[in-house]
Amino acid sequence: MCIFCKIINNEIPSNIILENEEFMAFHDINPKAPIHVLAIPKTHVDSFNEVSPQTMEGMTKFMQDVAKEMGIDKSGYRVITNVGDNGGQEVKHLHFHIVGGAKLAWSHLSDADPMGKF
């Protein structure tokens, strides 16, 4: 069982921000911005490659509600999901990073190896 499934099952504590029958949002334990929340489906889905359009429909509204709850819906925020090893996915359970609370830079990609393609 993955770490996010354990959080859903209350086997691991988390700082939950918003939750309903299908989704859960909680603070990231290693924040990269003043506000850094993870939003996950309660049903295990490995990654964005496997998610159904129906799940994403509900997830979209849920993430908008999280942004509003955190007070960043008007000032702006970023939604990120990582897919696979090269995409930086560390936990094989679909999750979205919702980050905000400051003017966000995009500098973390500067260390990527473009493999001569750019």
User: Can you tell me the mean pLDDT for 92-104?
Assistant: 96
pLDDT over 80 at 98, yes or no? yes
Specify the fold of 3-105.
HIT family, subunit A (3.30.428)
pLDDT of residue 76: 97
pLDDT of residue 118: 44
User: Can you tell me the mean pLDDT for 42-55?
Assistant: 97
Q: For residues 58 and 54, what is the distance between their CA atoms, to the nearest angstrom?
A: 7
pLDDT of residue 85: 92
- Whole-model pTM? 0.88
Strand order across the beta sheet in which 23-27 lies: 16-19, 23-27, 35-41, 96-100, 77-80
pLDDT of residue 106: 76
- Nearest 5 degrees, angle CA 55-CA 93-CA 15? 95
Domain ranges of the chain: 3-105
Catalytic (active-site) positions = 95
Q: Which amino acid is it at 36? A: H
Q: Which of 58-62, 96-100, 102-106 has the lowest mean pLDDT?
A: 102-106
- Taking the mean position of all CA atoms in its chain, how far away is CA 34? 15
pLDDT of residue 99: 97
Average pLDDT of the residues of the chain:
92
pLDDT of residue 105: 83
Three-state DSSP class for 64?
helix
Percentage of the residues of the chain whose pLDDT score is greater than 70: 90
